[in-house]
Amino acid sequence: MFNEMLNGLRSRFHRRFRFLLWPAAPLDERASLWRWEQISKPADRKSRFPFRMMRYWWTLCALQDEARYLGPPITIVDVGSGKGILRKYAGKSVQARWVGLDMKVDRAMLAEAGYDDLHACDFDQPLPVADSSADVVVFLHVLEHVPRPAFTLSELTRILRPGGVLLAGSPVAPQWIAQMREWLFRRQLRQGKRKSGEHIHCFWPGRWSEMVRAEGLSLEMLTGAYLLRRAGNPLENTQWWLRLNQLWGALFPSLGGEIYLMARKTLSSPSPRGQ
């Protein structure tokens, strides 16, 4: 019984607080390389630990963990690859085959970023990726834009191999606020005041948990990101402020600005590839 309690506590700790254990150095190092290129607000370019880049740092740390577990190379499907920010951010730190999917694809730019394969596709239709072909599916800040979140999530699950992992993120709010915003978004969409492709859905931790479990995915991590994000905040030059914000997000994920989650496609006897 003691071992079961210990394992349960360990599981709950990793689900909420594993993010706190990841090294902050890559955020500082990669932000210094990127200040001139991709951060949208000039004030952020002065920060050592810019919270605006936290989603890419979180994803990179998760990818590195997964690559160590599986053994390289892994296949990563980046759903909503955009300008290739994540691929550029990861650089050569993860040995992988990268597949980029988006509504519109600039093939020259994304090939230069380092993608091995590219597909232009509609996320409200079946994805042009084979069943059980991805070790990792990355899905950052896309689900709030799609018409049918449950359908899109089912497609992401389909392309994951058994034992593969989904890394996802979105804006987050307490349930009542999220539901009120989504009602307003839908009303604006009907009235023509909001365009298709803009934010039309809102999420809270419970909604994400229910959706991934409905697809048979095992939730391994769910955490908020930060208490306060403001371009040019001098506190974003300090590691203690970064960790304090992470702790806030872990304790109060619905108030964490953004939510990040890791969910694994279950199988009867999970093991690294080749074992």
| 34-92 tens-digit pLDDT | 665 555 566 677 788 989 889 999 999 999 999 998 888 899 999 999 999 999 989 88
Residue 197 lies in a domain: yes
Domains in the chain, number = 1
Largest Cα separation within the chain, whole Å, is 58
Give residue-wise pLDDT tens across range 91-114.
888 999 999 999 999 999 999 999
Query: What average pLDDT does this structure show over 147-171?
Result: 96
The alpha helices in 215-269, defined as continuous H runs, are 239-251
Instruction: Enumerate residues 6+ apart whose C-beta is below 8 A from 50.
Output: 27, 31, 39, 44, 236
At 268, the pLDDT band (50, 70, 90 cuts) reads: very low
Which backbone phi and psi does 167 adopt, to 5 degrees?
A: -110, 115
Q: What percent of the chain has pLDDT over 70?
A: 87
Q: How far, in Å, CA of 256 to CA of 203, rounded? A: 12
* The one-letter amino acid at 139: F
**Counts for the chain of helices (H) and strands (E), in that order:** 9, 7
Q: Per residue in 126-156, is it b (16+ CB within 10 Å) or e — as a string?
A: ebebeeeebbbbbbbebbbbbeebeebbebb
- Does residue 246 sit within a domain? no
Instruction: Establish if 126 belongs to a structural domain.
Output: yes
3 belongs to a structural domain = no
> Residue 136 is part of a domain; what is its CATH number?
3.40.50.150
Looking at the domain assignment, is residue 15 inside a domain? no
Question: What's the rounded Cα separation, in Å, for the pair 251 and 228?
Answer: 14
Q: pLDDT grade, residue 273 (50/70/90)?
A: very low
Residue 45 inside a domain? The answer is no
Give a yes or no: residue 60 inside a domain.
yes
Is residue 249 situated within a structural domain? no
Give the range of the structural domain holding residue 81, as residue numbers without chain letter.
51-226+254-265
DSSP β-bridge partners for residue 74: 96
Q: Higher confidence at residue 29 or residue 191?
A: 191
